[in-house]
Structure 1
């Protein structure tokens, strides 16, 4: 059984002021332009910044909806009828024009091979490539610190371990994400 659901667009911003306060670390930043710090982790978005973020999310969402309208050959009205947060079974999604056919991953690979002009006789090797999922360190040991309590010399090491590596890996440089758990790797 399959489920087909509407999409959404999200963004996130970590706020770290309390974490810095707990380790007695002070920060100072310089910025140029009133929104240069829009993703700074020291405070929530101000009104104008929140509006910019919401506009970016809405622009991304509208672009996706336009691609669906074009790709699925649906009217905007029909997309609103079948979209809008609704979830459908595979059969319902087929009836509503949201999918071309029913099938599992193997069926999708076979169809992709046909569309790409590749042999669909099983000679194309496909394997899922899973992403390492970044996570925040949980302990001083995982942070690479010598002791559980932070001493003054460990503050710089802590800042690099938490802010320099793991949080930047978690957030990346992108502001709005479209996420997948894995990607297929195809060899022929």
Structure 2
């Protein structure tokens, strides 16, 4: 009886997977490497960028398919192949994230613009640091009056557990080749030379961010440097500073995107179907790491454009 039940459960699972994949294929067809959405009316695509930005949320198992920078860039590339999509609203509600992930999304947005797509960013609660970096690639930025934005700067946080390890009797032995190979180690304090090396990384990453702001917002360097000291602004303050173009909500951004693209009337909103990742999202809790593991991972040498 138990064996029969397992067979039935297995069959049901396969049926569910088949239905989900069927829905996905109906919503989107790929022919000769080109994505074709089942609509002939010109419209505005919406891409959502929510939460901290990283290449992917997890690196193993099913969880690697959950949304991250890779999925966002993939979606942007698909949109670039769809001729009926004339503009894109990038809906942002994010404090930023790792520099590599931020820059990959930024570059894909730039490529979309080069293909003639109009890009409008719509900021929700927050569109700060790395999220603002990405927004600088857009033709226009729309924010709510109370949106938290800005935070233009670079952050690297490293822990030092030397005293804790000593108290609980943990001794770390490091075998290395390369003077600075264990820079940022939890088990010891950094030297002055190591701090200077890491500050060099921070300074270079900051210069990259500053240049993006200067070019994207057409600001003088002196003005950009003054407002790029990590401070945050409301959407209304950001507009006065030239960091935001218009005050408005998501629908205002959609209408603006349609107007920029020359779409008459109320533009049709197009969202690429993504049922399979949503199904996987239900099981995401199975892939959470424990707090200690999170702490160890966060202590790696990683530059971030992120709001704290």
TM-score in terms of structure 1 length: 0.61
Cα deviation code 1:54-112 (max 9, x no counterpart): 11111111110011001111110221344445544433422332112222345456667
Pair 108,24 (structure 1): closer, same or farther in 2 beyond 3 Å: farther
**Which residue of 54, 57, 60 maps to 2:199?**
54
Pair 24,178 (structure 1): closer, same or farther in 2 beyond 3 Å: same
| Cα displacement (A) at 1:136 | 6.3
Pair 115,166 (structure 1): closer, same or farther in 2 beyond 3 Å: farther
Cα deviation code 1:7-43 (max 9, x no counterpart): 2211111112233223322221112111111121111
Partner of 2:95: none
Distance, in Å, in 2 between the alignment partners of 1:135 and 1:169 is 10
Note if contact 1:5-1:86 (Cα within 8 Å) is conserved in structure 2.
yes
Partner of 1:179: 306
Query: What does residue range 15-94 of structure 1 map to in structure 2 within 5 Å?
Result: 15-94=160-239
Pair 124,31 (structure 1): closer, same or farther in 2 beyond 3 Å: same
Unmatched runs of 5 consecutive residues or more in structure 2: 1-144
| Cα displacement (A) at 1:126 | 9.5
Runs of 4+ in structure 1 off by over 6 angstroms are 112-117, 129-132
Pair 106,126 (structure 1): closer, same or farther in 2 beyond 3 Å: farther
Distance, in Å, in 1 between the alignment partners of 2:273 and 2:242 is 28
Partner of 1:124: 271
Query: Per the alignment, in what secondary structure is the counterpart of residue 41 of structure 1?
Result: coil
Query: Per the alignment, in what secondary structure is the counterpart of residue 61 of structure 1?
Result: helix
Pair 135,180 (structure 1): closer, same or farther in 2 beyond 3 Å: farther
Query: What does residue range 89-108 of structure 1 map to in structure 2 within 5 Å?
Result: 89-108=234-253
TM-score in terms of structure 2 length: 0.40
Unmatched runs of 5 consecutive residues or more in structure 1: 138-161, 182-188
Distance, in Å, in 2 between the alignment partners of 1:81 and 1:169 is 33
Residues matched between the structures, number = 152
Distance, in Å, in 2 between the alignment partners of 1:86 and 1:105 is 25
Query: Per the alignment, in what secondary structure is the counterpart of residue 26 of structure 1?
Result: coil
Note if contact 2:152-2:305 (Cα within 8 Å) is conserved in structure 1.
no
Q: Which has the higher strand share?
A: 2
Distance, in Å, in 1 between the alignment partners of 2:210 and 2:151 is 10
